[in-house]
Amino acid sequence: MARYLGPEKYGVYIYSIALAELVMLFWSQGLKEVVIQQIKESGLEKTDVSVASFQLMIVGNTFLYGVLATIVFVFNFDDIVKLIALICGVGIWFRCFEAFELWFHSSLKVRVTVLVQFVSQLIYMLVNVLLILNSAEIVWFAFTYAGQLIITGIGFLLVFPTKKFRVFKSYENLQSSLIRIGAVMIIAKLTYTSSLVIDRFLIESFLGSESVGIYVVSLKLTITWIFISSAISYSFIPVLTSLEDAQSFSASTRKMFQSIFYISIVLAVLIFFISDELVHIVFGSGYKNSSSVLKILILSLPFLFLSDGIKSRLVVEKKTKYFMYSMIATTSISIILNYYLLQYYDVQGAAISFLLSWALGGFFIFLLFKETRTLFIDIIKSIVSPFKLLKKPRD
């Protein structure tokens, strides 16, 4: 799709999606970890928690779609940006059905959700190929973006144990609890989403749509892999919630951090050394400047992976406010650095800003707080523990 549209049109497409995601995505996504933790901890019927969160997500997404519509018509966006943002917003609305996905995570049945996502992604890719072969206009790719999310959401509903599905049952007390516990995570997810999309708005402002396209294809090749760390960290939430002694808790979290860190290192090293060939093969010569951006962005992958693990542990420990602080710091650092670096280093400045903001705000910040230093130490121990095994025993 990026190759077919070219850097400028692809930049417009991604800019429009970023607008929809910034306004709508944080609400349903902010509740996800809290729902998994509550399903495991509350002792209530698992489907009740899922349905209660589904109702919350529907209400929130409907309100936020209204906000999106208001924004695109009040502000002076191009007509094509308005249209794509509104179409993609319909797809984001259907992410409320991801509440049913969380039931499978809490039951350690992740393979079911992976299968649903695989089928929807396959359909999405096949339809995009058909559109390209038929020289479709850019707006049709907004429909495939929305369609993929709609198919995924309906797929989660179809595989959910519907015998216990009571969509109109009142869950006011449970929902109040979810909002109270999840409020910090919702704010954190808003800043997290902002940290991933705010650079696109700044690049558009400083450098134009073509530079957005150059940057985003590199970012796509970086953040595409986050689904791995998300799947692992989601699956650890019910495990960690059930552990009572501190030693077992630390040991399990170290195992989680070790897994996601070394997977990220392998991916980062591989992509770094094949970045030129990868960009050329996947996106074509029109994106040749993206390879230098990718070499910088891919270095942030370990910090992105670790952030998912950190989020899961803080949810279980009920210290989510520190994740919120982390995301606010990450977004703030990104905005400040982008403002200056884009003027001197062009689109590579955005990549440097992304890397530094996630290293400082997404990881090293946890060393500053007394309540999270143990977490930081556990991460470091999980990283260095394989090297201890390599040491020769003393005589």
Residue of 161, 199, 113, 139 whose CA lies nearest to 9? 139
Residue in the block written with tokens 């977004």: 331
Residue by residue, DSSP assigns 28-86 as HHHTHHHHHHHHHHH-S-HHHHHHHHHHHHHHHHHHHHHHHHHHHHHTT--HHHHHHHH
Listed in sequence order, the DSSP H helices in 75-171 are: 79-93, 98-106, 110-133, 139-159
Q: How many CB atoms neighbour CB 248 within 10 A?
A: 13
pLDDT of residue 77: 84
Is 107 strand, coil or helix?
Answer: coil
What pLDDT score was predicted for residue 2? 83
Ranges of residues in the chain whose predicted pLDDT is under 50: 44, 395
Calpha distance 305→308 (Å, rounded): 6
User: What is the pTM for the complete model shown?
Assistant: 0.74
Q: How far apart (Å, rounded) are the C-alpha atoms in residues 54 and 197?
A: 26
Give the span between the Cα atoms of 63 and 51, in whole angstroms.
Answer: 19
Q: What is the pLDDT of residue 395?
A: 47
Residue 101's identity, in one-letter code, is E
User: Tokens in use for 132?
Assistant: 């390209």
DSSP state for residue 393 in the 8-state scheme: P
Q: How far is CA 188 from the centre of its chain?
A: 12
28-37 tens-digit pLDDT: 776 666 666 6
pLDDT for the residue numbered 307: 92
Based on its alpha-carbon atoms, the radius of gyration of the chain, rounded to whole angstroms, reads 21
**Environment class of 277 (CB within 10 Å of its CB; exposed 0-12, middle 13-18, buried 19+):** exposed
Cα 380 from Cα 387, distance rounded (Å): 12
Within 13 Å, how many C-alpha atoms sit on residue 78's CB side? 9
Tokens of 261: 């860190």
What per-residue confidence (pLDDT) applies to 391?
56
CB 38 within 8 A of CB 181: yes
Q: Could you read off the pLDDT of 144-154 as tens digits, one per residue?
A: 999 999 999 88
